[in-house]
Amino acid sequence: MNKFEALKQYFGYTAFREGQEPVIDAILNGRCVMAVMPTGGGKSICYQLPALLLDGVTVVISPLISLMQDQVMALNDIGISATYVNSTQTCSEQREILSAVVHGKYKIVYVAPERLSSPEFLDCIKRTRVPLVAVDEAHCISQWGQDFRPSYLAIPEFLDQLYYRPTVAAFTATATDSVRLDIEKNLGLLSPFRIVTGFDRPNLCFEVITQGSKPETLLSLIAERGDKCGIVYCATRKKVESVAGKLAECGVSVSMYHAGMSDTDRKSSQDDFIYDRVQVMVATNAFGMGINKPNVGYVIHYNMPKCMEAYYQEAGRAGRDGSPADCILMYSAADVKTAIMLIESSYENSNHPTETVENLKQMDYARLQTMQNYCKHRGCLRAFILSYFGQNSEGFCGNCTNCKPVDLYRDITLESKMILSCAKRIKDKLGYPMGTQALIHVLRGTRNEQILRLGLGTLSTFGLMSKFKKSTILEYISHLEKEGYLFIDPDHGGVLLPQKAASVLFYDEAVMLPISEDHTHSHASSQDLGKKSSGRSSRRTRKSNADLRPVPLENKLYEALRALRHEIARESGVPDYIIFNNASLADMAAKRPLNKTQFLTVLGVGSVKAEKYADRFIGVIKKYYNA
Ligand code: ADP
Ligand code: ZN
């Protein structure tokens, strides 16, 4: 099997993402790797795929138990034999696993760095062929990073004790040059293949809020986001408790997480969030590393974090599945005081020499200053972040609040959904598309001779936009065409939907219509204008209250697929996203596969998943389309 076959057959993908292929090639050629890729960039496949193709068992060093469990579940679900050894297992369980490892039962074994010093583990590895050691969250080995974990220093010792040197591949999302060099040095990477892919996460929208009462703002931010799930980070345990308490009082489905809670409480709280039993997680920065949940729709920082590295890493937990997500930072001057207190207290019991402590502190304060600069930055927030990580950008991203001037856009996502869905309905019904005029007639519910003769009056989208002016709908249609969400056939004028329409129909991608002053006045009816924005919420024109209105059929199918995913996940005792992530479900709803071969073309469907799930999902699709 070659790397492309493995990518399709196991992971269900047809193309590599930026950086994946060269990293995989390097590893397969036995070269060490130092890879810096953003959260959600797809680091796991970079070592999981070579692990499949190489002889022996790959050891993955990962800082957190939850991360290991998650990855092992996901691997097992796609038919790759993987396991972990960690402290949640009894000694005899561990022995059994290690013996199975020696007998070649697994392709991948996950361990925490502490495990590397265990004689039993070392003995097992010495009797096994280990072609590759992958170090996840590799910045934890650097004292200069913000996440130093002394246990990571056990890695070089471990490598030294092996009879031969396996290929070592280090991965991290957040590393400045000095941290990256430190990782290479500490891990003893010999002329590694170095790759730093772009840090940009285009689907994340950045915002800083500096005004207003935090509790109220937070509530409205959460309410505006409907049933999306999100994380709220607070600086201290006390804050976590008070914020979570308030949200709960207001009826938000919330759980909390901080280091002061018992292990059991933390675990059950985390599981509630991961398994979609609660919607919002309020936590300190103790929560999140190793949380793979791909459908986090927003990350709100209730307090300013202490540095850009931490901020981007935490905020980056939003939108891993590639769908639009928000990263909102609520800043107040009091946050600076808290951050200073946290920096000072982190050195209280330090056994480093005074000089080192002073150096470290100085760096912390410099990082804090950068963070404050970010909060006050008037230009593009994304450009600020990227330049901090050494990446050039155009300085205008169009997807942060500073690049999206307030009243110059209106959110027409809902209207766009109506239009696109209606165009699709018409084509489905007639077998061919109709032109713009007919589309507008159907949307406005015009019962003219042609519409009635063609039976379009019975469509579920008939009359959906009866309150809109013709000219307004036409304006929306031309905007959708300009943005590539619909396509007007130059020959016969038929309205067609390209693949990109799916992102609006199934994925709630926001459609923003630029409006000029005089334009605003030309829309007479208030119904027509929808929610006219004002004050703070005016900055958030991206979201519409789409959920309150009738949903088109595609959305209903998507919801039905989601419900089935939840049912299957419950039966198998895994989080929903282990079965399929949202990107896969959206692709499925768009492609509507009716047999196994078609099912295999869905994003993220490999042979094992097709075998396991095709029949049930196809069943749901058939129910919706009477096929
Ligand atoms: P990271 O570890 O870098 O944060 P992950 O490895 O968890 O990122 O990958 C993030 C998401 O991207 C996962 O849902 C994964 O399945 C998906 N993904 C990874 N590689 C690809 C690819 N080549 N094509 C499509 N999706 C991919
Ligand atoms: Zn911007």
pLDDT per position as a tens digit, 279-309 = 999 999 999 876 778 889 999 999 999 999 8
Pairing between β-strand 325-330 and β-strand 280-283 as defined by DSSP bridges: unpaired
Q: Which two tokens stand for residue 138?
A: 């590799």
In ligand 1, the atom with minimum distance to the C-alpha of 43 is 3
Q: Which two tokens stand for residue 555?
A: 């959305």
Q: Which domain holds residue 152?
A: 3-196
Q: Please indicate, yes or no, whether residues 440 and 583 belong to a single structural domain of this protein.
A: no
Most confident of 45-49, 64-68, 313-317: 45-49
Distance 401 CA to ligand 2 centre (A): 7
Q: What is the pLDDT of residues 109-155, one digit of tens each?
A: 999 999 999 999 999 999 999 999 999 999 999 876 667 888 899 99
In ligand 1, the atom with minimum distance to the C-alpha of 13 is 24
Q: Ligand 1: which of 44, 77, 313 to mutate, most ligand atoms within 8 Å of CB?
A: 44
Q: Please indicate, yes or no, whether residues 90 and 225 belong to a single structural domain of this protein.
A: no
Q: Please indicate, yes or no, whether residues 140 and 95 belong to a single structural domain of this protein.
A: yes
Q: Please indicate, yes or no, whether residues 412 and 381 belong to a single structural domain of this protein.
A: no
**Domain-located, residue 567:** yes
pLDDT at 409: 67
Pairing between β-strand 512-514 and β-strand 409-411 as defined by DSSP bridges: antiparallel
> 185: Cβ–Cβ under 8 A, 6 or more apart, which residues?
none
Percentage of residues of the chain with pLDDT beyond 90: 61
Q: Please indicate, yes or no, whether residues 381 and 517 belong to a single structural domain of this protein.
A: no
CB 116 within 8 A of CB 158: yes
Distance 600 CA to ligand 2 centre (A): 38
**Domain-located, residue 543:** no
Taking CB atoms and a 6 Å cutoff, what residues make up the pocket around ligand 1? 13, 15-17, 20, 37, 39-45, 292, 294, 320-321, 581
Distance 482 CA to ligand 1 centre (A): 30
Taking CA atoms only, the protein residue closest to ligand 1 atom 24 is 13
Q: Please indicate, yes or no, whether residues 169 and 277 belong to a single structural domain of this protein.
A: no
9 alpha-carbon distance from chain centroid: 23
Taking CA atoms only, the protein residue closest to ligand 1 atom 18 is 42
CB 257 within 8 A of CB 283: yes
In ligand 1, the atom with minimum distance to the C-alpha of 11 is 16
Q: Please indicate, yes or no, whether residues 264 and 349 belong to a single structural domain of this protein.
A: yes
Last residue of a domain, which of 538, 566, 588?
538
Q: Which ligand is nearest to the CA of 78?
A: 1
**Domain-located, residue 403:** no
Query: How much is the mean pLDDT over the chain?
Result: 88
Q: Ligand 1: which of 33, 45, 565, 602 to mutate, most ligand atoms within 8 Å of CB?
A: 45
Q: Which residue has the higher pLDDT, 34 or 547?
A: 34
The CATH number given to whatever domain includes residue 356 is 3.40.50.300
What is the C-alpha to C-alpha distance for residues 557 and 564, in angstroms, rounded to an integer? 11
- The amino acid present at 322, given as its one-letter code, is G
In ligand 1, the atom with minimum distance to the C-alpha of 46 is 6
- Of the chain, the end-to-end C-alpha distance in Å amounts to 36
User: What's the number of domains the chain is made of?
Assistant: 4
**Domain-located, residue 48:** yes
Grouping H, G, I as helix, E, B as strand and the rest as coil, residue 142 is coil
Q: What is the pLDDT of residues 455-495, one digit of tens each?
A: 999 999 999 999 888 888 988 998 898 888 999 888 888 99
Q: Please indicate, yes or no, whether residues 208 and 192 belong to a single structural domain of this protein.
A: no
Question: Mind giving me the DSSP string for 157-216?
Answer: HHHHHSSS--EEEEEES---HHHHHHHHHHHT--SPEEEE-----TTEEEEEE-SS-HHH
Taking CA atoms only, the protein residue closest to ligand 1 atom 19 is 42
**Domain-located, residue 395:** no
Distance 38 CA to ligand 1 centre (A): 11
pLDDT band at 259 (very low <50, low <70, confident <90, very high): very high
pLDDT at 351: 77
Q: Please indicate, yes or no, whether residues 144 and 185 belong to a single structural domain of this protein.
A: yes
Last residue of a domain, which of 196, 225, 260?
196
CB 231 within 8 A of CB 317: yes
Q: Please indicate, yes or no, whether residues 127 and 101 belong to a single structural domain of this protein.
A: yes
**Domain-located, residue 545:** no
Taking CA atoms only, the protein residue closest to ligand 1 atom 2 is 43
> 480: Cβ–Cβ under 8 A, 6 or more apart, which residues?
416, 419, 420, 486, 511
Distance 2 CA to ligand 1 centre (A): 19
Closest CA to 133 of 171, 78, 185, 101: 171
Lowest model confidence (mean pLDDT) among 55-69, 266-280, 513-527, 586-600: 513-527
> 567: Cβ–Cβ under 8 A, 6 or more apart, which residues?
none
pLDDT band at 9 (very low <50, low <70, confident <90, very high): very high
Distance 369 CA to ligand 2 centre (A): 21
Work out the widest C-alpha separation in the chain, in whole angstroms.
88
CA atoms within 13 A on the CB side of 20: 20
What is the C-alpha to C-alpha distance for residues 172 and 560, in angstroms, rounded to an integer? 37
Q: Please indicate, yes or no, whether residues 377 and 273 belong to a single structural domain of this protein.
A: yes
Q: Ligand 1: which of 3, 4, 13, 323 to mutate, most ligand atoms within 8 Å of CB?
A: 13
Q: Which ligand is nearest to the CA of 43?
A: 1
In ligand 1, the atom with minimum distance to the C-alpha of 7 is 23
Q: Ligand 1: which of 17, 295, 602 to mutate, most ligand atoms within 8 Å of CB?
A: 17
Output the CA–CA distances (angstroms, integers) from residue 374 to 178, 189, 304, 335, 381, in the order listed.
Answer: 21, 34, 10, 13, 7
What is the C-alpha to C-alpha distance for residues 178 and 183, in angstroms, rounded to an integer? 9
Q: What is the pLDDT of residues 143-152, one digit of tens each?
A: 766 678 888 9
> 357: Cβ–Cβ under 8 A, 6 or more apart, which residues?
347, 350
**Domain-located, residue 11:** yes
pLDDT at 233 over 70: yes
Kindly tell me the burial class for residue 41, based on how many C-beta atoms sit within 10 Å of its own C-beta (0-12, 13-18, 19 or more). buried
Output the CA–CA distances (angstroms, integers) from residue 415 to 178, 522, 530, 545, in the order listed.
Answer: 49, 18, 10, 11
**Domain-located, residue 399:** no
Last residue of a domain, which of 196, 224, 257?
196
Q: What is the pLDDT of residues 435-448, one digit of tens each?
A: 999 999 999 999 99
The CATH number given to whatever domain includes residue 459 is 1.10.10.10
In ligand 1, the atom with minimum distance to the C-alpha of 577 is 14
The CATH number given to whatever domain includes residue 608 is 1.10.150.80
Q: Please indicate, yes or no, whether residues 49 and 154 belong to a single structural domain of this protein.
A: yes
pLDDT at 517 over 60: no
pLDDT at 146: 65
In ligand 1, the atom with minimum distance to the C-alpha of 17 is 23
In ligand 1, the atom with minimum distance to the C-alpha of 44 is 6
Strands (DSSP E) along 420-489, which ranges? 487-488
Taking CA atoms only, the protein residue closest to ligand 1 atom 17 is 42
pLDDT at 550 over 60: no
pLDDT (mean) for 49-58? 97
Kindly tell me the burial class for residue 596, based on how many C-beta atoms sit within 10 Å of its own C-beta (0-12, 13-18, 19 or more). middle
Distance 403 CA to ligand 2 centre (A): 4
